[in-house]
Structure 1
Amino acid sequence: MISPHPDRILRLNTVLDRTGLSRSTLYRKIADGTFPRQIRISRRCAGWREHEVEQWARNPISYQVEDYR
């Protein structure tokens, strides 16, 4: 099903505000596979898909990145 609203890309400060995580905790969780990975927007810019951050926020304890190795 296609969402009626396009998925926004959130920048670091917005993700930190929405999750309440510190920067170091956020990157540690990404490395552990317990927080969504950021996507490359441009050469020096990255962000997170809003729906993935919202999915994490609904269940942060048991969240796992699907293709985590």
Structure 2
Amino acid sequence: MRTVYDVQQLLKKFGTFIYIGDRLAELELMEQEIQELYQSQCMTQDDYQMAILILRSEITVLTDKQKGRLRK
């Protein structure tokens, strides 16, 4: 797993499709779904850790971009 797309494909295996139209909200919702799946013991610790790392990294990138736009 390397990208947000890979995380989406993982969620898809569990029947979870997330599309809201707001990228940041989608990423946060994906993170919550991943946490619930892990707590339910539906995924391995390695998959959980990698998925959370990818999502939080992307969330950070998006929030930094949004902050940059607000400053200009």
TM-score higher than 0.5: no
Higher helix share: 2
More strand by share: 1
TM-score by length of 1: 0.31
Give 1 or 2 for the bigger CA radius of gyration: 2
